Amino acid sequence: MTKLLRSLTLVLCLLLAWSRGAAETAPLIANINARHTVSLDGQWQAIVDPYDVGALDYRAQPLKNNNAFFKNYKPQSESELVEYDFDTSGQLQVPGDWNTQRDSLLFYEGSVWYKRTFDYAQSPKNRLFVHFGACNYFAAVYLNGEELGEHEGGFTPFDFEITDRVRAHDNFLVLRVNNARGKDQVPTVNTDWWNYGGITRPVTLVEVPDTFVQDYFIQVEKGTTNQIKGWLQLNGRQPQQNVTIRIPEAGVSRTFQTDSRGRAEFSFRADLTLWSPENPKLYNVEIAAETDQATDRIGFRSIEVRGTDILLNGKPIFLRGISLHEEAPMRASRAWSDDDARTLLGWAKELGCNFVRLAHYPHNEAMLRMADQMGVLVWEEVPVYWTIQWENPGTLHNAENQLKEMIARDHNRAALIIYSVANETPVSDARNRFLRQLIQDAHSADSTRLVSAALQANGVSEGGHITIHLNDPIASDLDVLGNNEYIGWYVHRPEEADSIDWASEYGKPLIMSEFGGDALFGNHGDALARWTEEYQENLYQHQLVMLKRIPFLRGMTPWVLKDFRSPRRTLPRMEDYFNRKGLVSDHGEKKKAFFVLQKFYRELQSAPPR
């Protein structure tokens, strides 16, 4: 009976996973900026709904009458009871998190309803989509009182086709966005960053031809530096077409034919200047079908591993990096704009970085495109963080979908070299199966990039000497090992790092993906006094002594570029709901440890280790 119940439970979970995947999102449109678009950003009417009364009745059943908020219904007489009104309920800025727009919403987790009206004069031969950069965490979307569909996952884009539903005047778009944490979600209930809720990235109307270029992948073939390989996907009623790929500056023009599914795969040689941090060369790439065309700015480079080396364009590289959260540089709120990205990456470059780790979820598209322009290599990851429901098929499906959407958005960005599938996850058979599936998914979706995860190694003390062994069972499946360690803050004293050794049986490169300690900017004292800039400075000095002795170390991303909000950090005056491990304060002030790392990176840049 127990086995039968388990089997039935598994079937139900699989059905739930399928139903989530079957939400009515349209195939994701790549590079919407190359299209005819209309922004819906700006002030939206908003209703805060902690009990979901706009979606459920008092028996917790879905509302179907005019009191359902998505209907945007107005009373037809003075005696008619309607208990909501978008037009008198205040506004919220989109894109933006609701937490920092109203003091009353700083810690709020629940539902907020958004409404925006618009007119649209659509070409009768074209198709129209509404595209969302991201909504955290769950979004239900309605147009003119009818459901378009749902999306789960707080950091990846999605869209819906509204061709047959839009009208010339007085459209109203309504969203219910809910950021409540759940045990089966990705991430789960326990994190160490702020759970910013809302429509956190741009909302855009995208008009395309009846058959259009939905997506394309144009990159250097793995193992080469002069062979372009990829694919192209059309969407529409004329799937079989001639498609030409042009790179005018390089004199490239190649024509291919799509099959009955609208897909074409291609490979051709090209004499290109390779993209690198020192020379972030981008080319105008034109994709022209018979019914549609799109242009993108794409860089070409190779990334691979040979033994313990990471090779960029065939040459060993040391990744001088820093980790960062998606928080705006001069304000504690969700970042999303070009200006935010330019400032954050500018600080990283000032630090001496050629690499950033975008933790712990997919950051906004502006960050990836700005990294392309500024010459900063990128590690990007999905929020499989700490402990989630490893045995839940629905949770796995959710993680796979977020990984798929992240790769689909960013797979043409030259700066992106590493996909990470996890951060600090406890070892178990179920977890190992879960992560191995994600690793396989990443390699299948994009074989040109490396796959990693931020692991946690175990130390062994023998005769007072400590050796830390990289022994996570999924390490054998990864291209590059990541590892988080907090010697000098959560374990041991800073000076003990000087004599700690590291060992690995895998023969693979290591990126030390986290280390650091907290300091409140302007708080000075003894080098052994916690929370002082001097303590953080001292910790970094000892860390660098240790890291220089690891023979297979090929990169590092200390934690973290900038102080960021976290509800876990409650200590008055020192934390005040901020993680203070930043080398830059939440107001943009540089701490003493910033200059320790900057000096080290400048030395590495002038004489890279071999």
Rounded Cα gap, residues 601 and 599, in angstroms: 6
Please report the pLDDT score of residue 8 as a whole number: 37
Please report the pLDDT score of residue 610 as a whole number: 57
Sheet holding 158-161, edge to edge: 36-39, 203-209, 126-132, 158-161
> What are 10's two structure tokens?
């598994």
Q: Cα–chain-centroid distance for residue 276?
A: 22
**Other beta carbons less than 10 A from residue 17's beta carbon:** 19
Rounded Cα gap, residues 94 and 114, in angstroms: 9
The percent of residues in the chain predicted with pLDDT above 90, rounded, is 92
Query: Are 111 and 176 in contact, with CB atoms under 8 Å apart?
Result: yes
Query: Are 91 and 85 in contact, with CB atoms under 8 Å apart?
Result: no
Q: Give per-residue pLDDT as tens, 426-472.
A: 999 999 999 999 999 999 999 999 999 999 998 877 777 899 999 99
For the chain, what's the residue count? 610
Q: Give per-residue pLDDT as tens, 143-192.
A: 999 999 999 999 999 999 999 999 999 999 999 999 999 999 999 999 99
Rounded Cα gap, residues 350 and 77, in angstroms: 63
Closest CA to 223 of 254, 265, 267: 267
As a whole number of Å, the end-to-end CA separation of the chain is 61
Q: Give per-residue pLDDT as tens, 388-424.
A: 999 999 999 999 999 999 999 999 999 999 999 999 9
Question: pLDDT class for 24, splitting at 50, 70, 90?
Answer: low
Closest CA to 30 of 244, 218, 221: 218
| Amino acid at the residue 60 | A
Q: Give per-residue pLDDT as tens, 509-525.
A: 999 999 999 999 999 99
Question: pLDDT class for 15, splitting at 50, 70, 90?
Answer: very low
Rounded Cα gap, residues 151 and 134, in angstroms: 9
Q: At residue 6, does pLDDT exceed 90?
A: no
Please report the pLDDT score of residue 595 as a whole number: 98
Rounded Cα gap, residues 114 and 92, in angstroms: 8
Rounded Cα gap, residues 567 and 194, in angstroms: 6
Domains of the chain in sequence order? 24-209 (2.60.120.260), 223-301 (2.60.40.10), 305-606 (3.20.20.80)
Rounded Cα gap, residues 285 and 215, in angstroms: 13
Q: Give per-residue pLDDT as tens, 460-504.
A: 777 778 999 999 999 999 999 999 999 999 999 999 999 999 999
Q: Give per-residue pLDDT as tens, 247-299.
A: 999 999 999 999 999 999 999 999 999 999 999 999 999 999 999 999 999 99
Q: Which long-range contacts (CB under 8 A, 24 or more apart) does 463-466 make?
A: 465/499, 465/501, 466/492, 466/496, 466/499, 466/500, 466/501
Q: Measured between alpha carbons, how far is residue 149 from residues 17, 49, 64, 112, 160 in Å?
A: 16, 20, 16, 17, 8
Please report the pLDDT score of residue 13 as a whole number: 40
H or E segment to which residue 368 belongs: helix 365-374
* Torsion angles phi and psi, residue 510, rounded to 5: -115, 135
H or E segment to which residue 418 belongs: strand 416-423
> What are 66's two structure tokens?
């005019």
3 state DSSP class of 175: strand
Rounded Cα gap, residues 249 and 501, in angstroms: 50
Closest CA to 43 of 85, 84, 98: 98
What's the mean pLDDT in 552-559? 98
Q: At residue 387, does pLDDT exceed 50?
A: yes
Please report the pLDDT score of residue 609 as a whole number: 53
The string of DSSP letters for 283-335 reads EEEEEE-SS-EEEEEE----EEEETTEEEETTEE--EEEEEE-SB-SSSSSB-
Beta strand 450-455 with 465-470: parallel, antiparallel or unpaired? unpaired
What is the chain's Cα-based Rg? 25
CA angle 15, 21, 27 (to 5 degrees): 155
- Its pTM stands at 0.94
Mean pLDDT, the chain, integer? 94
Give the least confident one: 12-21, 90-99, 533-542, 596-605: 12-21
Please report the pLDDT score of residue 608 as a whole number: 62
Please report the pLDDT score of residue 25 as a whole number: 64
**Other beta carbons less than 10 A from residue 38's beta carbon:** 14
Please enumerate in sequence order all residues whose Cβ is within 8 A of that of 206, keeping only pairs 6 or more positions apart, or say none. Answer: 29, 32, 35, 36, 37, 128, 129, 130, 131, 159
| Amino acid at the residue 337 | S
Rounded Cα gap, residues 200 and 127, in angstroms: 25
